[in-house]
Structure 1
Amino acid sequence: MATVSEKEWTGFQGLPAATQIILHTLLAKLRKQKVDKITIVLLGKGGVGKSSIVNSLFSERVAAVSAFRSETLRPRQYSRSKDGFKLTVIDTPGFVEAGRVDAALNSIRRYLLGKTINVVLYVDRLDGPREDKVDVKISRAISQAFGPQIWPHVIVVFTHAEIHLEDVTYSEFVSRRSAALRNIILKESRFKTVNTKVPFVLVENCSRCSENGEHEKILPDGTVWLPVLFEALVDLVLGSKKPILIDEKMIGISKGNPLGSIWMPLVLLAQFVLIWRPIRKAIDRDLVEEAQRHSP
């Protein structure tokens, strides 16, 4: 059973003042459109920083993080509330290697069954390989597990974005890396014209990340990344994309034949009457006869 944690969004007050102003503006936009809650699901390989994103979104340590391995072994749901608005983030097990993609997705989609999702954050490292067969397998598996309708709700998040390059400019590297992953997603999702842009955001969760004069974490190009991430979330939620319900039809999980709950007890009863009870009687009879033969 997945863990659910819901509290007041106290970490909000710990954000830099400039960031708080932007988030208050975004919350006002949501309230104006009568949106009082957002649910986000994080998907991606293990160890790419999904749990760190959870902590950054809430500006507090709510998810366990390890620099050496994935700490999330099952889906974990975290919720925080502020001024009538509820933010829910569902952290999921990582796809550590290609062989675990299907097993991990089966676990995730069973947990998500019946939940309404606004945004999916597909997380990968910015400094990862541009041509990765695991990315192909993951994108294909996500399409098969949830259907292509999941992709219009996806924002790609590149972690470890504070990288220093010598042979190429930062913007050029980001452009190449994002284009490579975007092309994989477009191919495996079989997009035609829907959401062909596949938006992406760069983040750097490291505590040693560079800061500006307002104590906001910035990327090598000076971008304050946390407000940009929240802006991308709000833009997608307030866009034309309605929240998506993860139901049985979407993911192909059936509750089973309702007649099974009727027939199974009858089958077990028939087995008891026709098989096990006669066997038990025969055993008891043999025991009695054996006891009589050895009695003085």
Structure 2
Amino acid sequence: MHLATLIRAEETDLQRVNLSSSGAREIANQHEAADMPQLDFSCRILVLGKTGVGKSATINSIFDQEKATTNAFQPATDCIQEIVGTVNGLNITFIDTPGFLPSSTNNVKRNKRIMLSVKRFIRKSPPDIVLYFERLDLINSGYSDFPLLKLITEVFGAAIWFNTILVMTHSSSSIPEGPNGYTVNYDSYTSQCTNLIQQYIHQAILDSRLENPALFVENHPQCPRNILGEKILPNGQIWRSQLLLFCICTKVLGDVNSLLKFQNGVELGPTNSARVPSLPHLLSSLLRHRSVSNQSGIDDEIEEILLSDKEEGDEYDQLPSIRILTKSQFEKLSKSQKEDYLDELEYRETLYLKKQMKEEYRRRKEKLLLEEQKFSDIDNSDDQQGPPEPVQLPDMAVPLSFDSDCAIHRYRCLVDNDQLLVRPVLDPQGWDHDVGFDGINLETTTEVKKNVYASVVGQMHKNKQDFNIQSECAAAYVNPMGPSYSIGVDVQSVGGKDMVCTVHSNTKLKNIKHNIADCGVSLTSFGKKYYVGAKLEDTLLIGKRLKFVINAGRMEGQGQVAHGGSFEACLRGEDYPIRNDNLSLTMTVLSFNKETVLSGNLQSEFRLSRSLKATVSANLNSRKMGQICIKTSSSEHLQIALVAVFSILKVLLHRKEI
């Protein structure tokens, strides 16, 4: 009591607080001998529980007089009432509430109505302690009050269990027999019943860290008493004094939590410690280059290359005509002639694709000029063209058990003028092996108004257990002669339950002809945690083939900060963007938790011949960890596949020998 008074008075003298138990008793005896007034210590106690469990009877037993009406055959408390009294110098106020009905679908509305009325009643003056009542003699293997505990958690919040004491009435009832036919030990039986209720509370709040104290009560008039007239339990425990002690301790802990603000840092609920997003991962996602493309799909870098090639003539139109050989004529050629013929066709194909890309770019520019000049429909009638017809995508390969015998019944996807593409996602390894389709993919790009474009890319998967969604929505304002602005929202599900939402915005400035500056910010939300990031990026184009990119960024959230940056040098092939041959070198630095990691990455993609492509990537960091990856793809050389089969067999035989 003395410690509680010091805490409530915000006493900071450690010599007075760190009193021994004997010293505290001596001070208490001096106060009693001097007839000093009682300590100003009071507490408000909220009483909850089902009807007929003995809430009002326990209140009468604590005050040792009848202050609440009781009835053994029907509910006696039909409204919320405050019962005030003094017990051993303590000012106690009980908030007696109507009892809940047993858990069932028909009783949910009535129980919720009672809980909402109690919540409104305690809003102005919250209770210090909550007593949740349950009958010990009614707890058995079929006991399940989880729906009621879950409803209490939903209405009052999980924090109500923070200062709750479990009160088990009818604790002197006969103990049931165990599996061996003998009576179960009293302490082990009460512990088993308490653990059962505690497990349901853990399930209701989705947190197993909370441990509520349990108190056993007996209100029957024939309950055994000691020589002082106090009711005792079968194990010899005096429950009334123990209940008062529990209330005092809970009240003191509540004062400590209020003064030291412990409760603000303790949240009851599912622990998400294993699902905290990684700041380095969020930072790398922020630093990822996001190209702003228009409805034609041409981004800034390709546009710079097309502008540089604009003054050059079309080489394809200057080429002499060529005779296309048939298969029989091609077979009659010598090996060197075949190579020369195929090289010539490949060269012409590259020039033709370049010409098509330039024409597409020129048509887009002409369309913009027509819109700016606002020609009338009559003047533009000759230039306008009808909407293109829908284009059929290649048929998807479906399992044989799902394919139709009739050739006209096919699952096909069409690309029409509205730039909307919807197609199923095939997963042969999914849960439904007969169908194989467990998702849908959506892609669309549209021009909202002049120079304003919007795009949506999303994919959804649904099976018998999980629901996953990934989507990227973006809107951009592209000014051909000035800066470009974009804003986007990325949503991704994690573990089928949690959602990660990222809002990002970018601004691109063309301050020099071949230089593009980019700055961006992002806000990521994961559960109740938020992460803020910012980045700066600059891209320098030298000619058509050489590109330098340097960026730096910072990500902050939950008291942690991550810094990072990278420098990239990329050398493209002569036929870019028709052919994607390139060689890039990237240096990255990352600082997180007072640790700095340097890493380098070398990546190259090139063609060894017309039908053979290779990709080589290698990376190494300051932690002495690295990786080398070589990928090849060929449509003619069967020797590569044989080499892979030989390597696999060699490894398997080596393991067998070991």
Q: TM-score range by the shorter chain?
A: 0.5 to 0.7
CA deviation string 1:166-199 (max 9, x = no partner): 4211111101111100100111022253xx2211
Matched, 1:172 2:188: yes
Q: 1:84 to 1:230 in 2, by over 3 A?
A: closer
Aligned to 1:127: 137
* CA contact 1:161–1:219 (8 Å) conserved in 2: yes
* CA contact 1:136–1:188 (8 Å) conserved in 2: yes
* Secondary structure of 1:78's aligned partner: strand
Q: Decide which of 84, 90, 93 is 1:88's aligned counterpart.
A: 93
CA deviation string 1:236-267 (max 9, x = no partner): 11114449xxxxxxxxxxxxxxxxxxxxxxxx
Structure 2: distance between partners of 1:116 and 1:45: 21
Aligned to 1:182: 198
In the alignment, structure 1 segments of 5+ residues that lack a partner are: 1-25, 244-296
Aligned to 2:250: 236
Aligned to 2:54: 49
* CA contact 1:101–1:137 (8 Å) conserved in 2: no
The letter for the 2-side match of 1:127 is: D
Matched, 1:218 2:226: no
Aligned to 1:14: none
* Secondary structure of 2:130's aligned partner: strand
Matches within 5 A, 1:194-273: 196-239=210-253, 240-242=256-258
The letter for the 2-side match of 1:116 is: P
Aligned to 2:128: 118
Q: Decide which of 151, 156, 161 is 1:151's aligned counterpart.
A: 161
Structure 2: distance between partners of 1:84 and 1:204: 23
CA deviation string 1:120-157 (max 9, x = no partner): 00000011124433x21221111111111111110000
The letter for the 2-side match of 1:158 is: M
The share of aligned pairs that are identical, in percent, is 29
Q: Decide which of 69, 76, 82 is 2:74's aligned counterpart.
A: 69
Aligned to 1:9: none
Q: 1:42 to 1:136 in 2, by over 3 A?
A: same
* CA contact 1:119–1:233 (8 Å) conserved in 2: yes
Q: 1:161 to 1:107 in 2, by over 3 A?
A: same
Matched, 1:78 2:83: yes
Structure 1: distance between partners of 2:83 and 2:164: 19
Aligned to 1:292: none
Aligned to 1:139: 149
Matches within 5 A, 1:269-288: none
- Cα deviation for residue 214 of structure 1 reads 1.9
* CA contact 2:49–2:55 (8 Å) conserved in 1: yes
Structure 1: distance between partners of 2:76 and 2:171: 21
* Larger RCO (CA under 8 A, 6+ residues apart): 1
Structure 2: distance between partners of 1:83 and 1:43: 24
* Secondary structure of 1:127's aligned partner: helix
The alignment's C-alpha RMSD in Å is 2.1
* Secondary structure of 2:91's aligned partner: strand
- Cα deviation for residue 114 of structure 1 reads 1.2
The letter for the 2-side match of 1:80 is: G
* CA contact 1:44–1:50 (8 Å) conserved in 2: yes
* Secondary structure of 1:103's aligned partner: helix
- Cα deviation for residue 84 of structure 1 reads 7.8
The letter for the 1-side match of 2:228 is: E
Structure 1: distance between partners of 2:88 and 2:228: 25
Q: 1:241 to 1:44 in 2, by over 3 A?
A: farther
* CA contact 1:122–1:154 (8 Å) conserved in 2: yes
* Secondary structure of 2:138's aligned partner: coil
Structure 1: distance between partners of 2:87 and 2:199: 38
Structure 2: distance between partners of 1:205 and 1:32: 35
- Cα deviation for residue 103 of structure 1 reads 2.0
Structure 1: distance between partners of 2:88 and 2:212: 31
CA deviation string 1:64-119 (max 9, x = no partner): 01111221111110112479852110000101233132122122212222112100
The letter for the 1-side match of 2:143 is: D
The letter for the 2-side match of 1:89 is: F
- Cα deviation for residue 31 of structure 1 reads 3.9
Q: 1:213 to 1:236 in 2, by over 3 A?
A: same
* CA contact 2:70–2:76 (8 Å) conserved in 1: yes
Structure 2: distance between partners of 1:44 and 1:59: 21
Structure 1: distance between partners of 2:162 and 2:72: 31
Aligned to 1:39: 44
Structure 1: distance between partners of 2:126 and 2:111: 23
Structure 1: distance between partners of 2:237 and 2:202: 27
- Bigger strand fraction: 2
Q: Decide which of 104, 113, 117 is 1:107's aligned counterpart.
A: 117
Aligned to 2:598: none
CA deviation string 1:27-63 (max 9, x = no partner): x554454463200000000000000111122221100
The structure with the largest alpha-carbon Rg is: 2
Structure 2: distance between partners of 1:137 and 1:90: 23
Q: TM-score, normalized by length of structure 2? A: 0.31
* CA contact 2:166–2:215 (8 Å) conserved in 1: yes
Q: 1:242 to 1:57 in 2, by over 3 A?
A: farther
In the alignment, structure 2 segments of 5+ residues that lack a partner are: 9-39, 178-182, 260-658
Structure 2: distance between partners of 1:231 and 1:202: 13
Q: 1:172 to 1:231 in 2, by over 3 A?
A: same
* Secondary structure of 1:117's aligned partner: coil
